[in-house]
Amino acid sequence: MKRILLGSAAVLTIMFSSIAIAHADVLSQIEKRGTLVVGVKADYRPYGYLNPSNNIVGIEPDLARDVAKALGVQLKLVPVVASNRMQFLDQGRVDLLIATMTDTAERRNVVDLVPPDYYASGVNIMARKKSPFNNWESIKGAPVCAVQGSFFNEMVARKYGAKLVAFKGSAEALNALKQGRCAAFVFDDTFIAAQLQQQQWSAYDIPLKTIDSKPWGVAVKKGETRFARFMSGMVVHWHVDGEIIKLQKKYGLTPIAYSVRMHKFFDDNFVPSAN
Amino acid sequence: MLAQISQWFIWLNQTTGINLTIVYDSYDRGRMIDGFLNTIYLSLICLVISVIIGVIGAWLQRSSLKWTRRLVQGYIQLFRNTPPLVQLYFFYFAIGSLMPKIENKYGIMQPILSNWDWAIISLSFFAGAFNVEIFRSGIEAVPKATVEAAESLGFNRLQVYLYVVLPLAFRVCLPALSNNLVNLVKTTSLAYAIAVPEMLYVANQIWSDNLNVPEMMTFLLFAYVFLVGILVWAMNRLERRLQLPGYGG
Amino acid sequence: MKSRNSVAKPTDLPVLMPIAERLTRGRGIGLSYDIPRLQLRAWHGLFLLGVLVFFSASAWAQQSPDHPATLAQAFIRWMPLLLKAFVFNIVMSFLAMSLGTIAGVGLGVMQLSPTRPTHAVGWFVTQFFRNAPWLVLLFFCMFLLPFRFSVFGVTVPFPDWIKATLGLALPVMANVAEIMRGAVASIPSGQWEAAHSLAFSRRQIMFGIILPQCIRRMLPPWMNLYAILTMATVLASIVGVSEVMTQTQRVLSAENRPEFIVPFYAFVLLLFFVYCYPIARYTQKLELRYAVRD
């Protein structure tokens, strides 16, 4: 009897006790295990989406592949959503986040957002062309679809008084918009612009002035300075080479102003060494 | 007093990092109270509807028409053997899109049933499928002699059902029923998936905004255990009040 | 059927028939003779297929002409992915059930312990995990467990699907403990006394006499729990595990065709029905069989 009790107690202890987490510099860990684990979006076409053979492809997976190549290791992509990505990074489930994440002060408290930023987007809404929205104040009280975990949700609800209907991912939110369950969908303007290129959204547009235009950052776990420095180098290299502009063209997007500006800035001010 | 409590929680956040915004931030507090009330509201409505579905279903299952019985049986099996989450998605995104639409004030053709409505429908039907079986087994515990006695007193079929069979059957199946209703309250958290602002949904928004997952998670667990505790207590009281002399220990 | 219910004291009021114990189990309730059993025959499958074809046709009717892929093509293209994902759900359900059962039996034994503190702890843990929503427990394990841990210098990785499995095993554990408690309580206390008088120790009575009898009574509710667990594995989609629901949503996102939603979701429902319905039927059969033998 006693042994059984001890046994079950041990099982419970293992299940509930907080367990010591091994700690070492993430860069040496990556080298040791020979794999780089990157958190990317899987429902954010064309930045990260699924193809029929169950691989995640898109602009950000391509960037991740570039990082793995530079490190000389294998790449493993982990799909993340806005509401879990920072937890994943914090727990060490992923080494690196390239997941459409906007660089905000609050997030800088939690993760290391590597300078410089690699992309930029602002907040806008996607709505039917004939809808009455012409400024941000006009969305007050309107049911607006959103994605759980977007940083601007709170602002849109608190400042502009929209009635948010937040879903787990952008696919559900777009569905709800299409079915007329919300009057608009509030999200990154880059995403909306990419959607609007498709024929099925021809009756929709992006009616408001983009606000809160903010850059996207690549994130590493807080305190991983060596890896953060390495990633800084990678992002600078992408801007110098116009890598991101090339990728946008590859996936059928018009390069955004931010990419063009950054490319020009780094091209003018940064002289690469030998190669 | 309230301000002092808020101050203390702000201090707690600054010193220990335990960030319970739902106490000191009035916006988060308001959201969470709404979420809590919404969970109760959703639970109560689904509870009532699912019991009604159970009663009607159990009655239909005793119908003399073979196809009525088959239909009820089909409904039960379909809802019991598929995941409630997928049912919810199916109702909301799939069936919901086939519903008639009316124009709202934003000039948008909006489906007539909202996510609230679909959550109520889907969860009620899910719990109702179990209730049918529970009520049926309760009805079967009522002896034929009692029914015949009632009939000989001039009750018609419906009256026998309402005044004799159901009150007796209800007492028999109370334990099973309360079990199922507890499950229903827990299942309301699924409405999160279709953006019904119940407790889990609100908690998720708060932890997305404030990055305080462990605090919100702990709060959620205790809030649900509290709600379920109240329901169990109420059902136990009901059971004691309805107890028949000579039955139940 | 002879009454094995000890609570039905003799009374001169012929109010209720003996209340079969299986009523209180909630789900697994045997069907009586006048209720048609839903027996799946070939035409049922055809009917379901017909429903699918109907929705496909309606989807096809809504389809705009500039899209190349038909629904059938889309299904063929994504079927291997979805089926693989469904197998993953089953694997998760097996693991969670095994873990939950082992822990649950331990917890059940704790609850039956004569020592007060052990009993109290067992009772509290059982009630807590039984009354918390599965989805909340899943979130709990997902976000609060580390992604790997070290035991005696060995680092064990802890991928998210294992965390989800643990999250599902917690409520299973509490439910198994409860099922076990109920089954042990259904064994007449005379057996304990008789065994005591034959000088068996408590442990010998529990494992040699009481539990073997309980297994038969525990089997139907245990299988029920398994079916519920299998259906709960889709909850893992909400926390980002790549199981069948997640993959379906990704497929829908990749196809970007709102008219595909109905058939794809219907397909997921069908997958679970085909898997869980036979289990439910078998459970009913077992229950009826045991009920007669009692």
- Which residues are A80's β-sheet partners? A41
Looking up residue B75, the CATH number of its domain turns out to be 1.10.3720.10
Residue C154's pLDDT is 67
Three-state helix/strand/coil letters over chain A: CHHHHHHHHHHHHHHHCCCCCCCCCHHHHHHHHCEEEEEEECEECCCEEECCCCCEECHHHHHHHHHHHHHCCEEEEEEECCCCHHHHHHHCCCCEECCCCECCHHHHHHEEEEEEEEEEEEEEEEEECCCCCCCHHHHCCCEEEEECCCCCHHHHHHCCCCEEEEECCHHHHHHHHHCCCCCEEEEEHHHHHHHHCCHHHCCEECCCCCEEEEEEEEEEECCCHHHHHHHHHHHHHHHHHCHHHHHHHHCCCCCCHHHHHHHHHHHHHCCCCCC
The enclosing domain of C211 has a CATH number of: 1.10.3720.10
* Nearest residue to A183 via CA among A222, A229, A125, A241: A125
Share the mean pLDDT of chain A: 84
B55-59, C18-22, C115-119, C220-224: least confidently modelled range:
C18-22
**For residue C21, what are the CA distances in angstroms to B44, B238, C17, C187?**
28, 20, 12, 12
pLDDT digits (tens, 9 = 90+) for C30-84: 434 344 455 556 566 667 667 666 666 555 555 444 445 688 888 888 888 999 9
How many C-beta atoms surround the C-beta of residue C4 within 10 A? 13
CA distance A28 to chain B (A): 28
Residues 159 through 178 of chain C touching chain A, CB cutoff 8 Å: 159-160, 166, 170
Of A45-59, B14-28, C15-29, C105-119, where does mean pLDDT reach its minimum?
A: C15-29
Contacts of C287 (CB under 8 A, 6+ apart): C22, C28, C29, C30, C220
Percent of chain A topping pLDDT 90 = 31
Percent of chain A scoring above 70 in pLDDT: 89
Domain shared by A228 and A261, yes or no: yes
- Cβ separation of A183 and B106 shorter than 8 Å? yes
Q: Tens of pLDDT along A184-218?
A: 999 988 888 888 888 888 889 888 888 888 899 99
CATH of the domain at A85: 3.40.190.10
The answer to whether position A68 is within a domain reads yes
A105 and A236, same domain (yes or no) = yes
Count of domains in chain C?
Answer: 1
Polymer length of chain B = 249
Average confidence (pLDDT) over C187-207: 86
Q: Identify whether C198 is part of a domain.
A: yes
Q: Which pLDDT value is given to residue A22?
A: 43
pLDDT at C52: 67
What residues pair up with A44 in beta bridges, in sequence order? Answer: A48
Residue A69 has pLDDT above 50, yes or no: yes
Query: Is residue A1 a part of any domain in this protein?
Result: no
The pair of structure tokens assigned to B208 is: 């997305």
pLDDT > 50? residue C14:
no
Determine, yes or no, domain membership for C39. Answer: no
A136 and A184 in a single domain? The answer is: yes
CA–CA separation, B125 vs B131, rounded Å?
A: 9
Structural domain of B171: 45-242
Q: Rounded distance, CA B25 to CA A199, Å? A: 44
Q: Specify whether A158 is located in the same domain as A170.
A: yes
Write the CB contacts of C74 (distance below 8 Å, at least 6 apart in sequence): C251, C255, C257, C260
Report the alpha-carbon distance of residue A135 to residue B42 in Å, rounded.
35
Cα distances from C128 to residues B40, B42, C24, C212, in angstroms, run: 19, 22, 20, 28
The answer to whether A204 faces chain C, any CB pair under 8 Å, is no
Please give the Cα distance from B77 to C39 (Å, whole number): 11
Q: Are C284 and C261 in contact (CB under 8 A)?
A: no
> CB-based contact (8 Å) between A80 and chain B?
no
Q: Nearest CA to B51 among B113, B112, B122, B135? A: B135
Out of C23, C131, C277, whose CB is closest to B228? C131
Closest CA to B201 of B34, B17, B59: B34
Alpha-carbon gap, residue C190 to A151, rounded angstroms: 64
Percent of chain C with pLDDT over 90: 27
Check residue C13 and give its pLDDT: 43
The answer to whether the beta carbons of residues C179 and C21 sit under 8 Å apart is: no
Question: Could you give the CA distance from residue A175 to residue A167 in angstroms, rounded to a whole number?
Answer: 10
Residue ranges in C24-159 assigned as alpha helix (H): 42-62, 71-111, 116-131, 134-144
* Pairing status of strand B109-111 against strand C148-151: unpaired
Report the chain B residue with the minimal C-alpha distance to residue A158. Answer: B27
- Does residue C21 belong to any structural domain of this protein? no
Please give, one letter per residue, the 3-state secondary structure of C197-241: HCCCCHHHHHHHHHHHHHHHHHHHHHHHHHHHHHHHHHHHHCCCC
Structural domains of chain B, count: 1
Give the pair of three-digit tokens for residue B54.
């159970």
Q: Could you tell me the pTM of the whole model?
A: 0.76
Closest CA to A2 of C106, B157, B183, C135: C106
Stretch 150-169 of chain B: residues touching chain C, C-beta under 8 Å: 168
| For residues A2-11, average pLDDT | 54
C52, part of any domain:
yes
Residues A226 and A114 reside in one and the same domain: yes
User: Which residue numbers in chain B have pLDDT < 50?
Assistant: 248-249
A263: domain range?
24-120+215-267
Cβ-defined contact of C150 to A12 (cutoff 8 Å): no
User: Domain for residue A274, yes or no?
Assistant: no
- Each as own residue / partner, the long-range contacts of residues B225-229 (CB below 8 Å, 24 or more positions apart, any chain) are B225/C127, B225/C128, B225/C131, B225/C132, B227/B39, B227/B40, B227/B43, B227/B185, B228/B182, B228/B185, B228/B186, B228/C131, B228/C132, B229/C131
Q: Is residue C36 part of a domain?
A: no
Please tell me the distance in Å from C276's CA to the nearest CA on chain A.
26
CB pair distance less than 8 Å for C147 and A91: yes
Per the domain annotation, does B26 fall within a domain? no
Q: Which tens digits make up the pLDDT trace of A150-165?
A: 888 888 988 898 989 9
Dihedral angle computed from the Cα positions of residues A243, A247, A248 and A251, in that order, rounded to the nearest 10 degrees? 170
Asked if pLDDT for residue C108 goes beyond 50, the answer is yes
pLDDT confidence bin for A95, thresholds 50/70/90: very high
How much is the pLDDT for C150? 64
pLDDT tens-digit series, residues A221-260: 988 989 999 999 999 999 998 999 999 999 888 888 888 8
Of the residues A169, A188, A213, the one at which a domain ends? A213
Do A101 and A164 share a domain, yes or no? no
Q: Which residues contact C267 (CB under 8 A, 6 or more apart)?
A: C52, C75, C82, C248
pLDDT for the residue numbered C191? 86
The answer, yes or no, to whether residue A50 has pLDDT greater than 60, is yes
pLDDT for res A70: 93
Query: Do the chains contact at A179 and C258, CB–CB below 8 Å?
Result: yes
Residue identified by tokens 């391509």 is A62
Where helices occur in chain B by DSSP H, the ranges are: 2-16, 21-24, 26-61, 66-80, 84-89, 115-140, 144-152, 157-159, 166-187, 199-210, 213-242
Contact call for B85 and C262, based on CB within 8 A: no
Rg (CA), chain C: 24
pLDDT of residue C68: 53
A27's CB contacts (< 8 A; 6+ apart) are A224, A226, A227, A230
Domain shared by A76 and A98, yes or no? yes
Which residue in the set C102, C118, C148 is minimally distant from A5, CB to CB?
Answer: C118
Determine the pLDDT at residue C31. 39
Averaged pLDDT of chain C: 78
Q: How far is B75 from chain A (nearest CA, A)?
A: 27
Q: A185 and A233 in one domain?
A: no
